[in-house]
Chain A
Amino acid sequence: MSEAGVRVLDDLVWDEVTAATQGAAAPCFQCGVCTAVCPWGLVQKEPVNVRRLIRLAQLGTDGWGEAIWLCTTCGLCEARCPRGVPVSEIILALRRLAWDRRAVPKGLPSMLWAIHWDGNPLDQPPSQREAWAKGLNLEPFTPEHELLFYVGCTGAYDRRTQKIARSLVTLLRAARVRFGIFPDEPCCGESIRTVGQEEYLAEVVAANTERFKAAGVRKLVTVSPHCLDMFRSHYPPWDGFRPLHYTEYLDQLVSDGSLRFKRELRGTVAYHDPCYLGRRHGIYDAPRRLLAAIPGLTLVELPAAREDALCCGGGGGRMWLETHAGERFGDLRIREAEGTGVEWLATACPFCVLCLEDSAKVLGVERPRVVDVTELAVRALGEASS
Chain B
Amino acid sequence: MKPLDIIVCVKLVPKPEEVTVNAETRTLDRAKARSALNPPDMNAIEMALGLRERHGGTVSLLSMGPPFAAPYLQVGLAMGADHAYLLSDRLLGGADTLPTSLALAKGIAKIGEWDLVLCGEESSDGATGQVPQGIAEWLGCSQITYAMDLSFLPDGRLRGEREIRGGHEVVAVPLPAVVSVKLAVNEPRFMDMERRRNPEAVTIWSAADLGVDPKWLGFEGSPTVVGAVWQAKSPERQRQFLDGTPQEKARLLAEQIRRML
Report whether chain A binds chain B: yes
Residue of B18, B34, B188 touching A109 (CB-CB under 8 A): B188
In the complex, chain A residues 122-171 whose Cβ is within 8 Å of any chain B Cβ: 125-128
Task: Give the complex CA separation of A128 and B36 in angstroms.
Answer: 17
For B175-219 the 0/1 string (1 means CB < 8 A from A) is: 000000000000111110110100000000000000000000000
Stretch of A56-64, A195-203, A235-243, A334-342 with 4 or more beta carbons under 8 angstroms from chain B: A195-203
Please determine whether A200 and B188 come into contact, CB atoms closer than 8 angstroms. Answer: no
In the assembled complex, A117 has its CB within 8 A of some CB on chain B: yes
Task: Give the complex CA separation of A80 and B204 in angstroms.
Answer: 59
For B72-88 the 0/1 string (1 means CB < 8 A from A) is: 00010000000000000
Residue of B34, B187, B194 touching A107 (CB-CB under 8 A): B187
Q: Which residue of B lies closest to A195 (CB)?
A: B190
Please determine whether B187 and A102 come into contact, CB atoms closer than 8 angstroms. Answer: no
Please determine whether A127 and B17 come into contact, CB atoms closer than 8 angstroms. Answer: yes
CB neighbours (8 Å) of B34 from chain A are: 126
For A47-89 the 0/1 string (1 means CB < 8 A from B) is: 0000000000000000000000000000000000000000000
Residue of A107, A127, A203 touching B18 (CB-CB under 8 A): A127
In the complex, chain A residues 104-119 whose Cβ is within 8 Å of any chain B Cβ: 106-107, 109-110, 112-113, 116-118
The smallest C-beta distance from B228 to any residue of chain A, in angstroms, reads 26
CB neighbours (8 Å) of A125 from chain B are: 15, 17-18
Q: Which residue of A lies closest to B189 (CB)?
A: A109
The smallest C-beta distance from B125 to any residue of chain A, in angstroms, reads 15
CB neighbours (8 Å) of B75 from chain A are: 116
The smallest C-beta distance from A32 to any residue of chain B, in angstroms, reads 35
Residue of A110, A127, A200 touching B193 (CB-CB under 8 A): A200
Task: Give the complex CA separation of A200 and B191 in angstroms.
Answer: 9
Task: Give the complex CA separation of A203 and B78 in angstroms.
Answer: 14
Please determine whether A113 and B17 come into contact, CB atoms closer than 8 angstroms. Answer: no
For B13-41 the 0/1 string (1 means CB < 8 A from A) is: 00101100000000000000010100000
CB neighbours (8 Å) of A116 from chain B are: 75, 190-191
Task: Give the complex CA separation of A127 and B19 in angstroms.
Answer: 11
Task: Give the complex CA separation of A128 and B190 in angstroms.
Answer: 24
Which bracket fits the contact residues of A? 20 to 34
| Given A117-B36, A126-B34: A200 in contact with B18 (beta carbons within 8 A) | no
Task: Give the complex CA separation of A315 and B42 in angstroms.
Answer: 29
The smallest C-beta distance from B153 to any residue of chain A, in angstroms, reads 27
Please determine whether B189 and A102 come into contact, CB atoms closer than 8 angstroms. Answer: yes
Chain A: interface secondary structure?
helix
Q: Which residue of A lies closest to B15 (CB)?
A: A125
CB neighbours (8 Å) of A107 from chain B are: 187
Please determine whether B188 and A113 come into contact, CB atoms closer than 8 angstroms. Answer: yes
Please determine whether A106 and B187 come into contact, CB atoms closer than 8 angstroms. Answer: yes
The smallest C-beta distance from B198 to any residue of chain A, in angstroms, reads 12
Please determine whether B36 and A109 come into contact, CB atoms closer than 8 angstroms. Answer: no
Task: Give the complex CA separation of A197 and B192 in angstroms.
Answer: 10
Residue of B36, B187, B191 touching A110 (CB-CB under 8 A): B187
Q: Which residue of B lies closest to A126 (CB)?
A: B34
| Given A126-B34, A199-B193: A109 in contact with B187 (beta carbons within 8 A) | yes
The smallest C-beta distance from A325 to any residue of chain B, in angstroms, reads 19
Please determine whether A197 and B17 come into contact, CB atoms closer than 8 angstroms. Answer: no
In the complex, chain A residues 328-360 whose Cβ is within 8 Å of any chain B Cβ: none
Please determine whether B190 and A109 come into contact, CB atoms closer than 8 angstroms. Answer: yes
Task: Give the complex CA separation of A116 and B189 in angstroms.
Answer: 13
Please determine whether A113 and B194 come into contact, CB atoms closer than 8 angstroms. Answer: no
The smallest C-beta distance from A127 to any residue of chain B, in angstroms, reads 6
CB neighbours (8 Å) of A202 from chain B are: 193
The smallest C-beta distance from A334 to any residue of chain B, in angstroms, reads 18
In the complex, chain B residues 60-77 whose Cβ is within 8 Å of any chain A Cβ: 75
Task: Give the complex CA separation of A328 and B64 in angstroms.
Answer: 49
Task: Give the complex CA separation of A202 and B188 in angstroms.
Answer: 21
CB neighbours (8 Å) of B187 from chain A are: 106-107, 109-110
| Given A109-B189, A113-B188, A126-B34: A199 in contact with B194 (beta carbons within 8 A) | yes
Q: Which residue of A lies closest to B34 (CB)?
A: A126
CB neighbours (8 Å) of A113 from chain B are: 42, 188, 190
Please determine whether A203 and B193 come into contact, CB atoms closer than 8 angstroms. Answer: yes
Please determine whether B190 and A200 come into contact, CB atoms closer than 8 angstroms. Answer: yes
Specify which of B187, B194, B196 lies most central, judged by the most chain A CB atoms within 10 Å of its CB: B187
Task: Give the complex CA separation of A116 and B194 in angstroms.
Answer: 16
CB neighbours (8 Å) of A117 from chain B are: 15, 36
Task: Give the complex CA separation of A197 and B36 in angstroms.
Answer: 21
CB neighbours (8 Å) of B15 from chain A are: 117-118, 125
Q: 14 extra interchain contacts, Cβ-Cβ under 8 A, other than A113-B42, A113-B190, A125-B17?
A: A99-B190, A109-B188, A110-B188, A112-B190, A113-B188, A116-B191, A125-B15, A125-B18, A126-B34, A127-B17, A197-B190, A199-B194, A200-B191, A200-B193
- Which 4 residue pairs spanning A and B have beta carbons closest together? A199-B193, A109-B190, A125-B17, A112-B190
Q: Would you give 17 A-B contacts (Cβ < 8 Å), ordered by A? A: A99-B190, A102-B189, A106-B187, A109-B188, A109-B189, A110-B188, A112-B190, A113-B190, A117-B15, A117-B36, A125-B17, A127-B17, A127-B18, A197-B190, A199-B194, A200-B190, A203-B193
Interface residues, chain B, with chain A CB atoms under 8 Å away: 15, 17-18, 34, 36, 42, 75, 187-191, 193-194, 196
